[in-house]
Structure 1
Amino acid sequence: MLTALRRLAGTWVAKILFALLVLSFAVWGIEDVVRNIGRETAVARVGDLTVELPEAQAAARREMSRLARQLGDRFSGDENIRRAVAASAVEQLVSDRALRTEASRRGIAAPVGAVRDSVFAIPGLRGADGALSRPLLDSFLRQNELNEAQFLEIVAGDLLRQQLAGAVRAGAAGPDALSAPLLAWAMERRVADMVLVPRAAMAEPEAPTEAQLRRHQENNPARFSAPEYREAAVAILSPESIAAEIEVNDAQLEQAFEQRRAQYETPERRSLRQAVLPEEAAARALAEAWRGGADFAAIEAQATAAGGSAADLGLLDRATLPIPAIAAAAFGAAAEGVTDPLRSPFGWHVIRVDRIEPAVTRTLADVRDELRREVARDRALDMAHERANRVEDALAGGATLADVAQRFGLTLAAATFDASGRTPDNQVVELPVAPAQRNELLRAVFAARQGDAPRMTEMGDAFVGIEIRSVTPPALRPFESVEEAVRAAFLADARRRAAEERAAAMMAALRDGKTMAEAAEAAGFPVQRVGPIGRNPTAAGPAVPPEIVAPLFEARAEAPTMVETRDGFAVARLVEVLRFDPASDPLGVGRIRSEIEQSMQEELEEQFAVALRARANVRINSQLLQQVSGP
């Protein structure tokens, strides 16, 4: 048998089989490389530069978080929004690559020193001592899913953008030929005669029959129907739930305390009042009066009489005071003490110390429990995205929301409620999210479709999965349960129609040549002269309905106009147009010129960005772009 095998091994057939076997093991060893040969991995290509999928996904997540913080309850993170945000994030990365390409072509660079200075100048990264805070920087990087190198690259890109944009924006000047007419248009005023026709002044309508009320309910189903209800299961993956699983040992606590020591050290703070005067003699007289017990009202009056001013600066630390000499004097004085006058470019300063809060330094023992929670939560934030991806994979594999909640420690809740978050018995539904994300979750539930597989969606710091189990469509409520509401609505609509008819009759009379006084007398309402009023409806005054302002500025002289207001209807006739002479307000012309220049600069910068993109040979991978909006 062995002899036969040796003879077989020497044949060309056996050699081919052995070669195939070796090749198979080699391919298994480099499976990922072989599988990706010829496969596109970049979401976008900008010339020789690429935007890879992980970078695009991280940028999209950052933008979603920014929008959620900025808009709060108004933000909806449904699938359409996520796709739009993903496309916008990729476009921003493409613009960044195009800008870097142009900067390289022109030999423009961001020196390391300039990047460092820019980072140190970011106010949100400074500690209580005014210096760059490493814990604040680490927290910022963690919240935005950035490492230090990526952050520095973003700062360098901003510097390049400032250099290129500054060159593009330079030289844009607002022409007087445009500035003066715009100021004249903005400052134009108008005078009109106006008659108000309030709904409340209309006669009591005839009592409706039951048939009329039933027909009114049927014709206005949105006003008298039960809302759509949805039975939904909601699973929440939150940092708080993950943090409960994390153990933080003493060594990790000590390390975190050293990194965050600045936030546990509160510097001495003082409640200060200050007077600034133009002359030293007046400042010395004021200081003596202050030391003699003069109250602050008297000090304010004395400072004003001497051509200066006085102000309550509030509670400040030493680093907050911008002039070192004044800071030294203010923090060298005793409580309730008054400093001697000190000179600065602003004049002579006299400062009174009302109250002193001593510096406070908390030790590790003082903050151990608080710090342990913070460290656990920070680590939980890092773990949340990774676990959300595992949950998403399990859901894609056919697992139910209940299954993944049990496997991965998600909080699961199920309830039936309407879009406002109320149950059929009008109780507020309990939802397992933070109050800031409640409205966002409600919108997501009512944007989801029944039958769709649940997906994990980021909401604030948490990830949420939604499963729609049933949908009860809106339906007319029983007439008996809403009869009184229908009656009130019917009568209100009748009064509105009566007011509209009265106002329309006035408009017809005015068009037939009658004066405003004659038309108003026939309608039974007084005429009032309003104006001069400007184009801003909110500045027209309480006597002028804001709805009438725009029509008056669109009307021709002596032309009548009619609008519906919050309380009824308004009929007005333009009496006079007061033109504005821009030559009488050179400062106003200058202000308009500056606004025009700003708009021109922004438009030039936008056109420059479009031109760079067109030149950069941009190619977007639409298939990979669809993956950017995923968790």
Structure 2
Amino acid sequence: MLTLLRNLLRSKIALVLIGLLILGLAAFGITDIFTPRLGNSLVRVGDRTIEARDIDREADAQIDQMNAQGGSFTRQDLADSGRLVNVIAIQVNRLTMAEYLKQKGLSPSDEAVVDQLRQLPLFRSSINGSFDLQRYQQYLNSVGQTEAEYEQLVEDQLSLVTMSRGFSGAVEPPSALSEIMAMYNGEERRIAYMLVGPDQIEDQIEPPTEEELRTFYQEQRANLLQPERRAFSIIAISPSDFIHRVDITDEEIQNEYAAQIARFSAPSTRVFESVVFEEQEPARQALGRLLADADFDQVVNSLSGQIMAAESVLRDDMTNEDLADTVFTAPVDIWSGPVELGDGRWAIINVIEETPGEAQPIENVSDVIEQELRAFKAERAYMDSLEEIDDATGSGLSLEELAEVLQSPAYSLPPVDNQGVTEDGKRNTFLNQIEGAIDYGFDLYPDETSFRQDAGDYQYIIRLDEIVEGYLPEFEEVEDRLTRALTNQKRAQALNTLATEVADRLDQGGFLTSEAETLGVEVMRPDQPVTRSTPPETGLNAHSIQSIFAAGLDESFVIPLQGGLMIGVVEAINLPDGDALRRQVAATQSQLSNVLSRELEQAMFAVAMDDVSPETNDAAIETYISDNQSPQ
């Protein structure tokens, strides 16, 4: 479809689509407001370029978004993972599409860009919701962008969004296609099935012979080969080890309670008076004079201030955040401000009185305070212990002697491979949770004890006790494992053979009830019909639903399960009609419109890439990526 639409966009019909987009942009006007930036560029698109600093800015914005969700990514991480290349590609695509639209006469006017800027929540005042020029300039400074560059970005976004909306408004899927998709989405199937498992074929499974096992042993040599493993002893210390070593007195709890009384109290009430001015400058002058002990009435009258009635407020009741911050952080009996009000005026305020909220009794919060104090003192004791650990490890003591000095146990662990897995296949969770301990341990010589190593949440000292060389177990050592594995393999093969034979008989006119009786299982029928959107909670995952809808009426399907197989037949197929079909068509049309719009956008982008032909500076891009990658 993409090729068809791409050819379509090169035809006369494209003029109609472009015309629709121009109508969509009519409110924005047609103009060109940018000045191309030249220099040592990564990419040139038309008479505009992409510089390294542009990619820096976009990459940093992406990193900020990821880190806001709990990550700790850097630009180096983006480069190492290949995502920095994606950042460059996205910018090339954006500029290419914007340049193509501009060539076709689709560029919003200066007025449209300014209007869009004024509507962005990021730049609105928290006082009255109007555009805040200071916020706008602070943002540009923070991201290292000029007004012209940011306005160009807004212009591009307006063009692209309007293009997308233009396609959505112009595309209406054919009714026949909508009906077909509606019937596809609304199709319902009634099924019957039985569950078969090992019990149904157990009498067919012969125990493996020794000859079979020895053959299987040869086939599985690569899987049976045991890697080199190493046994370690380790002391691992974390702040939690000091929790029960610290003491918390009642006096400490009382002092902390007094220091944090506001935290354990209901919100306080403040009474404040204010003087309001029409502009900021007289408010500033009034504040300065009052702080210099000038006469209150004379200051207010000379600067045309309006004295407001005193108010008693809770912070949560105040809608103006800036005013609330001023009122509830200002010292009592000292004029503060000025602060902008919601109507554009400015005020200075004086807190007359503060009434603290009722505090919870110390008995209600002492456990919380004690827990926090204990954690704080444990962390401090942990940090203080690091020097003691270093002194002890440098004294030549054995790991066991170090454990006594540090009052922390030394754990002797069974041999593990370089993934922390023992010979019986169990992962050593303790060793694996100490970051870097396994890798560091594998670099030690036999009987070598490390110095203190920092693993973030842990400080550890590790000793290599033993190296167990890799080997291939003898047949007798793994005979039981081979027996279980080969028996399971035979069982799975027998189940698959049974399923194939049953499915063949069902497809040739056999009855599911007869097959179920022969196997001694029940036939089940779901209360609700199966649809393509049946949720996984019903026990049918996407693969299961696909298998059911791949079968025709009265045909069989076989679905693998955790402990066996589901073998069933499709007993009925119902397609929506009448009102049900009309409702489904209505829901489908919007979905189809979105699909067709996306196809058109992709086709237009393909045409744009051909027509605009962005020029890439491969050497500069390679150098930029290399400069941001980890040192090799």
TM-score normalised to structure 1 length = 0.48
Q: Which has the higher strand share?
A: 1
